[in-house]
Amino acid sequence: MGLKSVLSRPFAAYIYHQYQQWQRNPVATQQRVFKQIVEQASQTAFGRDHAFAAIKTPADLARQVPVRDYEGLAPYFKRLKQGEANVFWPGKPLYLAKSSGTTSGAKYIPITQASISNHINGARDALLHYVHATGRSQFLDGKLIFLTGSPVLENVGGIPTGRLSGIVNHHVPAYLRRNQLPSYATNCIEDWETKLDHIADEMLGQHLTLISGIPPWVQMYFDKLVARTGRPVGEVFPDFNLFVYGGVNFEPYRKKLFETIGRPIDHLELFPASEGFLAFQDEPGNPGLLLLLDTGIFYEFIPAERIFEANPPRLTLADVELDKQYALVLNSNAGLWGYSIGDTIRFVSLAPYRVVVTGRIKHYLSAFGEHVIGEEVEQILRDAMQQHPEVEVVEFTVAPHISDNPLVDSYHEWLIEFAHPPQNMASFAAALDAGLRQRNVYYNDLIKGRILTPLQITSLPLGAFQRYMKSLGKLGGQNKVPRLSNDRKVAEGLLSIIEL
């Protein structure tokens, strides 16, 4: 056992006990964070515009600061990009994290001197909780792959700007820098397929112990390794025993990933976002993610079914209930105020506060009033795959097929890329449809009322989703395929790709 592995254990115990302290008084911890960040931002442009000096309670905050997304705060973000100081938070941001996916194009999210530790320490503390819970620290003695965006940063308004994963790459602790792969030069390659080829070149023959990345892009890397070696990844790297991931639900990818590895390994889920590192899996095997309450973020929660109301209720941690869907709103030392992050969560524990990520506010299917969410389609796919154990899914998305002809059916179309298709496609589709009818009463009513006919599956050829994402310039990195759409933009894009 190496020195890093040995020393990590007492450090892991120290961090674990630090976390236990604020977990004993979670509501009081959030109140303290609330008071600190509001006071610090009171003399900023945003603070003056919204009378922060008069805000004493979360109820005051809700009155003074409306819930807005990136587009709603665009005038302030524009001032940041132009180099203005003291906009959301004192001074200028340390970085701008660039991400895509909004209707206005790229987002530029501030990371301040006060908030950078949230991003860096969140990932560190997740690994240390794993070490403390399992006693397994040997992975720290091997090579660690972080499949991230390029660390090359551009200058926007005098502020270094780039993908969050690329920014964080500059802050990998010195004690792990020698373990880290790929090399800096390889990490700077923008083209994802070329980058994976270079990573494979660098890794073969190395003592790999950990991989971190978004599951579909890790799978793409694994496929390259298997194609090169003709062996499962777990044979190529016999000491590879920990997979760290975030950004998407692991379950749809689990079966194919483990088949490619050739054996089970430990896996650890994180909840990182450009807006903040929000939660991590603190107990192996427990699907709940520990919500980080003492890192400069004050959370508000809006019942998901009321998110589009003009003045929806804004709950604090003391008000939430188990097993209800909430839209997540952040106020933070990055300078985000009443900021709707776009994710929905569900509490699975209140002592401590643990959540699961259930989907995106904008990624739902309600073309017929059914309001199907990501958590539902992912769970019913998992259930159907258990009934059809031969099935392996690479990727999928669901879109409405809307007919304006009363003689032509309307239905949900599931576009699925199978690694191994079902032996009986009709039976698999029926299992999906039955599962959705059971989980979603509105969908069931639409089927019973013959507004919709049972869902249909369109089987896509291998590589379809990769080719589609590449056509958008979104292959790899932090980019993800939406699970659900209210229109046919993604569906038609996929169908046009496979027709080429």
What domain count does the chain have? 2
Tell how strand 242-246 and strand 266-273 pair up.
parallel
Nearest Cα to Cα of residue 203 among 171, 236, 227, 230: 236
- The domain boundary, picked from 360, 382, 404, lies at 360
**Is 181 found in the same domain as 211?**
yes
Nearest Cα to Cα of residue 19 among 113, 111, 128: 128
pLDDT range class, residue 372, cuts 50, 70, 90: confident
Residues 6+ positions from 14 with CB-CB distance below 8 Å: none
**Is 389 found in the same domain as 316?**
no
The helix, strand and coil proportions of the chain, stated in percent and rounded to the nearest 5, come to 40, 25, 35
Residue-wise pLDDT for 435-469, tens only, equals 999 988 889 988 988 889 999 999 999 999 999 99
Residue-wise pLDDT for 285-321, tens only, equals 899 999 999 999 999 999 988 888 888 999 999 999 9
Q: Give strand pairing partners of 327.
A: 302, 344
**Is 305 found in the same domain as 385?**
no
Q: Cβ distance 226 to 260 under 8 Å?
A: yes
**Is 278 found in the same domain as 129?**
yes
Question: 102 vs 340, which has greater pLDDT?
Answer: 340
**Is 385 found in the same domain as 352?**
no
- The domain boundary, picked from 303, 334, 360, lies at 360
Dig out the tokens for 144 from the structure: 């660690």
Q: Which domain holds residue 469?
A: 374-499
Residue found under tokens 């780039």: 162
| Residue 369 placed within a domain | no
**Is 294 found in the same domain as 429?**
no
Mean pLDDT throughout 343-354?
A: 95
Residues 6+ positions from 351 with CB-CB distance below 8 Å: none
**Is 158 found in the same domain as 103?**
yes
| Residue 53 placed within a domain | yes
**DSSP state letter for 349:** E
pTM given for the model? 0.83
CB atoms within 10 A of CB 485: 18
| SS3 assignment, position 185 | helix
Give buried/exposed letters for 268-295 (b at 16+ CB in 10 A, else e): bbbbbbbbbbbbbbbbeeeebbbbbbbb
| Residue 366 placed within a domain | no
**Is 264 found in the same domain as 200?**
yes
**Is 342 found in the same domain as 394?**
no
Q: For residue 179, what is the domain's CATH number?
A: 3.40.50.12780
Question: 330 vs 309, which has greater pLDDT?
Answer: 330
**Per-residue model confidence (pLDDT) at position 477:** 65
